[in-house]
Amino acid sequence: DAGVIQSPRHEVTEMGQEVTLRCKPISGHNSLFWYRQTMMRGLELLIYFNNNVPIDDSGMPEDRFSAKMPNASFSTLKIQPSEPRDSAVYFCASSLLGDYEQYFGPGTRLTVT
């Protein structure tokens, strides 16, 4: 299996632009997680889905952030409009529902100037 796939790996954008991060979970996994990693805050859980349904989005920092999972093999995290403080590494992870092990993608490094 190719593992969790994220794209792009790097994204540089200007403040005010819309950013869309993409994730393809491991085939057969039915839980998907979005995390943000910064030096200041460490690793934060933003939102997670079970069977394509958002379960907990309490970690989403602001209304500028939104996430969707239209099917079992694809999810997006969108930031509109982006701000410099959104600069971070964004990870997607997937797992089997109820399993303790999460499989992380390689991350998307976002820089907002």
Partner 1 sequence: GEDVEQSLFLSVREGDSSVINCTYTDSSSTYLYWYKQEPGAGLQLLTYIFSNMDMKQDQRLTVLLNKKDKHLSLRIADTQTGDSAIYFCAESQGGSYIPTFGRGTSLIVHP
Compute the distance between CA of residue 85 and CA of residue 67 in angstroms, rounded to an integer.
18
Residue 76, number of CB atoms within 10 A of its CB: 15
Compute the distance between CA of residue 113 and CA of residue 111 in angstroms, rounded to an integer.
6
Among 22, 30, 45, 64, binds partner 1 (CB under 8 A): 45
Among 2, 62, 71, 100, binds partner 1 (CB under 8 A): 100
User: Is 43 a binder of partner 1 (CB under 8 A)?
Assistant: yes
Cα three-residue angle 2-93-15, rounded to 5 degrees: 110
Which residues ranging from 79 to 98 are in contact with partner 1 (CB under 8 A)? 91, 93, 95, 98
From the CB of 53, what's the least distance to partner 1, in Å? Answer: 15
The interface region with partner 1, picked from 14-22, 41-49, 63-71, 80-88 by CB under 8 A, is 41-49
User: Is 25 a binder of partner 1 (CB under 8 A)?
Assistant: no
What does the block give as tokens for 84? 């410099």
User: Is 54 a binder of partner 1 (CB under 8 A)?
Assistant: no
To which residue do tokens 């460490």 refer? 42
Coil, strand or helix at 8: coil
* Contact positions vs partner 1 (CB under 8 A): 4, 33, 42-43, 45, 48, 56, 91, 93, 95, 98-102, 104-107
